[in-house]
Structure 1
């Protein structure tokens, strides 16, 4: 018996400045809202995407996946290239659909993802070309001390201290597989972090905490232990601005599942 639908996946990138995050919000414009409207218009049937995660207001994404189903009557004549061109014509210039491909009927963009990676960008001194894409700081922190603290952080699993309050999640445990600060071109300092999952506001809280350690010579790298073990958000650093944060990569175990 023929399946009633075909599942597809899209790869999206966007500048998040103008949006209240990826996920559809009441009384606020989100990236998902515009993508769903464009898909519905091009495919001529109601489309509701399921994203691999969510990004907060103002956060950018270089790679975000979302899946959706199309009823079988439409899949017979679906021209992927035409659909992709049509979507990008309808969407604003700060959102792009980079790829569009079929996947297995049980593929799930969120639950099948095994790793997510973020970057946080910081620059020093006024730079109009980085405005909106990086956080400007005046004082240079001690990067060595921040990287030492990041290494200690990776030995923990419960990151309640970095979670936004009153979020409904089944666990605050995450497995961080990479966390490091690196100097890049144009005097930009970038924090790279990868984990199997992230809590809401977690990366921005981690960056704020590490920056506070790097800026205070009285704090050792080991001070991050007390913060994490307290499970108290008020002991961690402030959340840094969204403009410097990017979702950069989402990985899946079976790469062939994402093969067009």
Structure 2
């Protein structure tokens, strides 16, 4: 039987989502927990990867197990074994063909910026010592919705077959001493959001015009993008699936 598990995690001490040699990953910690609780080898598949230091307020994984599970009891047992920086939220019985990565039709990321130095936010937001021009950053962000090819904002390495993404939302908001960038799309390229944020911040600092930002996108040239924004401000915030996919078990 196939299950979807909804989790969240603080990415500070992890070298990203995906299992890798000689580095601690969220997937490694999760699979170890699932295998011990379910008393069989479990290999989970995530809805997507997050890089070193990136957080997730919502992430989904799927895994297969021979028997039907008591979902509430399993969530309780998973959380007893998981470390404090990873939490299991919900467990859903899904059709056998359901796939955490390929069935997701939209993903949302948030990027957090603090405008006042805050020692309690140092691993969870990027600090800027002056307010960038939010209006210009929003003008530039709106241009993202006009394009599909985001080669400019992709990492050179990887097995990506194409660089097309459909962006549905991209906007900055301010609340007190915090700025938040929200971007929602059907898919994202590796490192894309941090490169987008870094380039938008250059618009906000006056280093790049709004028109120049569009030229950067249209160039399809990775060297034209600004440096990537730091990892600690980035959160995978939401993963969306068709409603019929979830069949909550008892």
TM-score (norm 2): 0.96
Which residue of 2 is the match for residue 24 of structure 1? 19
Shift of 1:257: 1.3
Please list the CA deviations of residues 48-72 of structure 1 after superposition, one character each: whole Å capped at 9, or x if unmatched.
Answer: 101100100000001000001102x
Shift of 1:213: 0.9
Which residue of 2 is the match for residue 233 of structure 1? 222
Shift of 1:259: 3.9
Which residue of 1 is the match for residue 45 of structure 2? 50
Please list the CA deviations of residues 16-47 of structure 1 after superposition, one character each: whole Å capped at 9, or x if unmatched.
Answer: 00101111111110011111010000001111
Residues 1:196 and 2:212 are matched in the alignment? no
Which residue of 2 is the match for residue 3 of structure 1? none
- Quote the Cα distance in structure 1 between the aligned partners of 2:90 and 2:247: 10
Please list the CA deviations of residues 61-99 of structure 1 after superposition, one character each: whole Å capped at 9, or x if unmatched.
Answer: 01000001102xx33xx3322221111111110100001
Flag the structure with larger Rg. Answer: 1
- Quote the Cα distance in structure 1 between the aligned partners of 2:35 and 2:208: 53
- Quote the Cα distance in structure 2 between the aligned partners of 1:29 and 1:12: 17
Match 1:247 to one of 222, 236, 239: 236
- Quote the Cα distance in structure 1 between the aligned partners of 2:129 and 2:145: 28
Which residue of 1 is the match for residue 80 of structure 2? 89
Which residue of 2 is the match for residue 209 of structure 1? 199
- Quote the Cα distance in structure 1 between the aligned partners of 2:40 and 2:146: 48
Unaligned runs of 5+ in 1: 1-5
Which residue of 1 is the match for residue 127 of structure 2? 136
- Quote the Cα distance in structure 2 between the aligned partners of 1:251 and 1:183: 25
- Quote the Cα distance in structure 1 between the aligned partners of 2:79 and 2:152: 40
Unaligned runs of 5+ in 2: none
Deviating beyond 2 angstroms after TM superposition, the runs of 4 or more aligned structure 1 residues are: 78-82
Which residue of 2 is the match for residue 163 of structure 1? 154
- Quote the Cα distance in structure 1 between the aligned partners of 2:39 and 2:73: 14
Question: Superposition RMSD on alpha carbons, in Å?
Answer: 1.1
Please list the CA deviations of residues 111-139 of structure 1 after superposition, one character each: whole Å capped at 9, or x if unmatched.
Answer: 00000000000011211221211000112
Match 2:63 to one of 64, 68, 74: 68
TM-score (norm 1): 0.93
Q: Helix, strand or coil for the counterpart of 1:208?
A: helix
